[in-house]
Structure 1
Amino acid sequence: MSKADVIVGVQWGDEGKGKIVDLLSGGYDMVCRCQGGHNAGHTIVVEGKKIALHQVPSGILHKNIINIIGNGVVLCPAAIIEELKQFGDVSGRLFISDKAHLNLPYHAQIDQAKEKAKGAHAIGTTGKGIGPAYSDKISRSGHRVGELKNPEKLCDAILADFAANKAFLDVLGVKAPAREELLGELKSYEVALGKFIVDTTHMVWDAIDADKKILLEGAQGTLLDIDHGTYPFVTSSNTVTAGSCSGIGLSPKNVGEVIGIIKAYTTRVGNGAFPTEDMGEDGEKIRDIGREYGATTGRPRRTGWFDAVGVRYAARLDGVDKFALMKLDVLDGFKKVKICKAYEKNGKIIEYFPSDLEGVKPVY
């Protein structure tokens, strides 16, 4: 019986997980995505061509690897259909959990409408419907990928949801789609994706029992975890190592090595506290040299110095066995490099990562 290794981001995402997965995945039989959705962006360069992966596991670039999209993912059918066009026929190499939840166009509409309504207090989401899709899942009103196999029934269920939530959706300006339009959309998803939809839990168990080598590919970063991150400026899933277990259907006892990915500096996308952020010349220099722009949104990332306090906290949560340090060369041109070793909060020096970062100042 084998164990699954985990690759996890130990900052606020964008650490370079895709590159390490691509580097290591040739030594594995199976690569799995366990949480998140098409808000994730893992960038890989193949023969000089940049490929941005959003929902498809990074192992897809290797012909002999099985790729699993697990139950913890919220899948956007339209986005993955488009994403798959760059890979040709992946039949027999890609499988999608029938228990993963659907992220449909109305989720993005709700996401964007809520962000707009919040104004200056917006989270800074990607606007791709991830939060609303997870909200539906938690409130037990979501729909799972396996339901695509019966488009008529799924269509009626979605329209019933719209009717039940009409008052709320009217406030946001989100209207129910016409039945024929929605049904046609769902049927097209089933035609394109139906052959990939299976019970992946048993596939992964069988691989473990057969002593296959498995890699769990984390998305986003630990400091964006819905429970342990800088709430409310977080993503809507569990990005820690334990989230990978529940998102693919494995016991923590099945985890082997945990590889934490960190950058030699820190970046963040969206709003929220960022103690080591540098909004001056050095921050701009890091952004330009490191090409710090989102793979999913294209937005310039906020940049700053390495935060050892945050990394220590995240590494403990994740049970990191070893680190992969990325982009150290970006700092080559700096005469002085800062490392945050502690925080100052309310006039006191602290060496732990507090639940509330308001008023926190870095100690270098």
Structure 2
Amino acid sequence: MLTAITGINWGDEGKGRMVDLLSEDYDVVVRYQGGNNAGHTVINEKGKFVLNLLPSGILREDVVNVMGNGVVIDLKHLHGEMGRLREAGIKITPANLKISDRAIICMPYHVQQDCLEEERLKDAKYGSTRRGIAPVYGDKYMKKGIRMGDLLDSEESLKAKIANIVEWKNLMIEKGYESEKLDAEEMFAWIKEYGYELKDYICDTGLFIDKAAVNGKNVMFEAQLGALRDIDFGIYPFTSSSSTIASYAPIGAGVPNRKLDLTVGIMKAYSTCVGEGPFTAELFGDEAEHLRKAGNEYGAATGRPRRVGGFDVLASKYGVRMQGADEIALTKLDVLSYMDKIPVCVGYTFEGKELDVFPIGEKLENAKPVYEYVDGWHEDISGCRKLEELPEAAREYIKYIEKAVGCKIKYVSVGAEREEYIVVPD
């Protein structure tokens, strides 16, 4: 079984929590794109963990975790993340963590370039996390990247690659942005300090995953961010710099020869968005602040307050289609329990005309939300473990969303703890 766990909306849907939950039935969990610019928060019996680079399956001792070729890796950040988990008693060895030799390294100059560009843009900034993601993906496609496999080559070979790239990069850093000149020796020292300790983890992960599939192992592909942050199909240019779409999973994992058996889309019971860009369903004032506090909506990677809104029918229906979702995991339903009436963005208008599909460009930037309010249940549902235990209004809300997006809701999260969820019967 090859399964993709993907986000339906803008990211922060609760994918890490669902990967942690569902990974019990999987042998391998693979991160196939993205870097350390977003976080997956997982709460289980071992504690609370924020994972930026490591696959969420790392919290299960019997799961092999893979960082695929589609991931960009900040070596220093990975060093720190692994260290924090080990301090918490999580076992990490080359037996349960494998890093693709084709994955690109996110260098310090990528972070520097990211920050310099956001500062240059000023009020027109994209809302970058300033972690070097756009520059490193840009360099990857300009064929100016350093790959994890390069760490396995001789020091002379690696130094030569770094020197050539630094010479080119200084044309932009020093002469373009008029910032401090990069030093190739410093870049090599950084790689040696944080990268060489990972040599035993680096391998041909595509070959490993392919053999696992041949042997009937269950493989889960874990996405970072959601469909609306995809570089092609998201709210461009306010997107990530990689493909968050499920169909990219086999490519970013190193097994383009394989096809997915199942795609599980993760979708919140309301809407959230971190950073800049169009967010039509956004709520403001006290209504927004109450929802933000109830859901503890602050970025796992950045700590930034998330923009919040009611469930967005148009955006979610689009996300379900882009991900090719076979079933949905609906998260954070419990957050809405304080409401008497629940806001739902049922559509958009542009220049007074109703839009029937999720738009791009000027239409998206200037779209106005059409809100309706449905009945709430106003009681704690965190103890519910069966669908019939939920209040009638909560069950009706699930049916409403399921019909609106045209996809079966299979799982419903009613709390942050691992066991606080409901499996919806077929």
Q: Same fold (TM over 0.5)?
A: yes
Distance in 2 (CA, whole Å) between partners of 1:311 and 1:55 is: 26
Percent of aligned positions that are identical: 40
Aligned partner letter, 1:226:
I
Deviation at 1:253, TM superposition (A): 5.3
Computing the radius of gyration over CA atoms, which structure comes out larger, 1 or 2? 2
Counterpart of 1:194?
199
Residue 273 (structure 2) pairs with residue 275 (structure 1)? no
Deviation at 1:359, TM superposition (A): 1.2
| Contact 1:12–1:223 under 8 Å retained in 2 | yes
Please list, as runs of the form range in 1=range in 2, the aligned pairs for 1:330-349 lying within 5 A after superposition: 330-349=335-354
Stretch deviating more after TM superposition (248-257 or 232-241): 248-257
Distance in 2 (CA, whole Å) between partners of 1:177 and 1:251 is: 37
Aligned partner letter, 1:105:
P
Deviation at 1:176, TM superposition (A): 4.2
| Contact 2:151–2:196 under 8 Å retained in 1 | no
Query: Residue 338 of structure 1 aligns to a residue in which SS?
Result: strand
Please list, as runs of the form range in 1=range in 2, the aligned pairs for 1:282-297 lying within 5 A after superposition: 282-297=287-302
Residue 100 (structure 2) pairs with residue 93 (structure 1)? no
Counterpart of 1:358?
365
Counterpart of 1:261?
266
Aligned partner letter, 1:193:
L
Counterpart of 1:224?
229
Stretch deviating more after TM superposition (25-34 or 143-152): 143-152
| Contact 2:231–2:243 under 8 Å retained in 1 | yes
Counterpart of 1:314?
319
Aligned partner letter, 1:106:
Y
Counterpart of 1:249?
254
Distance in 2 (CA, whole Å) between partners of 1:191 and 1:48 is: 29
Deviation at 1:352, TM superposition (A): 0.4
Distance in 2 (CA, whole Å) between partners of 1:231 and 1:215 is: 28
Distance in 2 (CA, whole Å) between partners of 1:107 and 1:358 is: 29
| Contact 2:166–2:184 under 8 Å retained in 1 | no
Query: Residue 294 of structure 1 aligns to a residue in which SS?
Result: coil
- TM-score, structure 2 normalization: 0.82
**Cα 1:240–1:130 shift into 2, 3 Å:** same
Q: Which has the higher contact order (CA 8 A, sep 6+)?
A: 1
Distance in 2 (CA, whole Å) between partners of 1:9 and 1:284 is: 24
Deviation at 1:211, TM superposition (A): 0.6
| Contact 2:348–2:367 under 8 Å retained in 1 | yes
1:150-197 deviation digits (Å, cap 9, x = unpaired): 343223322222222433212224444434433222222343100000
| Contact 2:162–2:188 under 8 Å retained in 1 | no
Q: Which of 105, 110, 122 pairs up with 2:108?
A: 105
Query: Residue 186 of structure 1 aligns to a residue in which SS?
Result: helix
Residue 123 (structure 2) pairs with residue 120 (structure 1)? yes
Distance in 1 (CA, whole Å) between partners of 2:76 and 2:95 is: 20
Aligned partner letter, 1:128:
R
| Contact 1:113–1:173 under 8 Å retained in 2 | no
Deviation at 1:63, TM superposition (A): 1.1
Structure 1 stretches of at least 4 aligned residues deviating more than 4 Å after TM superposition: none
Please list, as runs of the form range in 1=range in 2, the aligned pairs for 1:72-221 lying within 5 A after superposition: 72-85=70-83, 86-87=85-86, 88-150=91-153, 151-170=155-174, 171-221=176-226
**Cα 1:190–1:271 shift into 2, 3 Å:** closer
**What stretches of structure 1 of length at least 5 have no aligned partner?**
none
Aligned partner letter, 1:39:
N
1:105-137 deviation digits (Å, cap 9, x = unpaired): 110000001001000000011100011000000
**What stretches of structure 2 of length at least 5 have no aligned partner?**
372-426
